[in-house]
Amino acid sequence: MDEHASHEKAGDAPTTTGRPRLRVGVVGIGWAGRQHLRAYANSEDVEILGLAGMEPDLLAELADEYAIPHAVARWEDLLALDGLDAVSVAVPTFLHAPITVAALDRGLHVLSEKPIARNGDEGQLMVDAARKAGRVLDVAFNHRRRGDITALKRIIDDGELGRPYYAKASWLRRSGIPSLGSWFTNREMAGGGPLADIGVHVLDYALHLLGEPAVLSVSASTYSELGPQGRGGGTYGAQGAGSAFEVEDFASAFLRLDGGATLLVEAGWAAYRHADDLLDFRLYGTDGGAELSRVGGPEDAVESLHVYSERGDYEPDVGPSLGHQGVIDDFLAAIRAGESEWGRHDGTLALSRARVIDACYVSAAQHREVQL
């Protein structure tokens, strides 16, 4: 029996829930791609049909680990597989739009890593393709699935803090430029530096917590002080990969929101500060406030959440962080919800984040406030 026939037999076997099996593929075998693989493998009624990656040894290792029948180098070959329902796109940012649009044009549902694309115009192409195809397009914002953010979201939505009027959110590193000289620091490939890379996470969870107010204007500054000197790397990948440092290494943006509230966002790959990474969110409301922080590296971070009000200060119970598993679960649920619901998942939210980031870069370059 050949490999494809063997797959067909396994894919058509009855599932434990009685639901049809979803067949998925993953493009990209870096850190993000491996998170998608692990989450799909943990998901019920899902078969990982194909994997695409450019590192032959790692590709073979992962295909063996997850019993993936089709391991290919080219993403085009993965999209051509018969029986594929959905694909994850976990590759450098400049490839998000072409792969996503091609997948949607083939009738596949798509989960892309963040940011949606290098800029809002590319993101718009992806959203338009999703709408034309009538398929799900989602973008992986895994930090909003953290337990502390979920707990604080519930408190804010319950009205316990009153009307939020000021918030500040940051992701700051001491030496966290990802691979000096790689695609991350190449403007054409990445679209930007930490504002586009990790700042989009901060922007996403902040606006999520605040109830998705429209951003009316931005005033931003970007700095490129350490990266061009070869400083600020060393902990997030191999250094000296060959490209000049073309992006910022620190950014700050002041956002005016619909309803009168304001938000300050900071994103830094490198700065002379504490050695531990910091992700935080501070909120002041008319009836209370909150401070949330996550300190440390990806594997050993310590989270804290404090709520302050006239009724007393306390530390809420915080559930587990779902991370990429939560992202994958939500993506699969959107697909299984059926065609009538797919239009609600067309990438519009992620596109709005990209438009804000675009405005921040314009503001920084032109030294002025930019209206959205």
177 and 287: one domain? yes
Q: How far apart are alpha carbons 170 and 152 in whole angstroms?
A: 16
Of 231, 220, 218, residue with least CA distance to 272: 231
208 and 243: one domain? yes
Q: How far apart are alpha carbons 137 and 116 in whole angstroms?
A: 10
Last residue of a domain, one of 306, 321, 336: 321
- Structure tokens belonging to residue 106: 């083939």
86 and 233: one domain? no
User: Is 351 a member of any domain?
Assistant: no
154 and 303: one domain? yes
Q: How far apart are alpha carbons 354 and 283 in whole angstroms?
A: 23
Sequence-separated (6 or more) residues with CB below 8 Å from residue 171: 194, 198, 199, 201, 202, 266, 267, 268, 277, 278, 279
Of 77, 81, 118, residue with least CA distance to 96: 118
Q: Would you say residue 12 has pLDDT above 50?
A: no
Q: How far apart are alpha carbons 199 and 177 in whole angstroms?
A: 13
pLDDT > 70: percent of the chain: 93
333 and 300: one domain? no
188 and 104: one domain? no
Q: Would you say residue 11 has pLDDT above 70?
A: no
Query: Given the structure tokens 């804010």, which residue do they identify?
Result: 156
233 and 272: one domain? yes
Per-residue pLDDT of 47-63, as tens digits, reads: 999 999 999 999 999 99
Confidence of residue 239 (pLDDT cuts 50, 70, 90): very low
Domain around 167: 147-321
279 and 340: one domain? no
User: Is 194 a member of any domain?
Assistant: yes
Tell me what the mean pLDDT of segment 110-118 comes to. 98
Give the CATH number of the domain where residue 185 resides.
Answer: 3.30.360.10
For residue 297, the model assigns a pLDDT of 84
User: Is 134 a member of any domain?
Assistant: yes
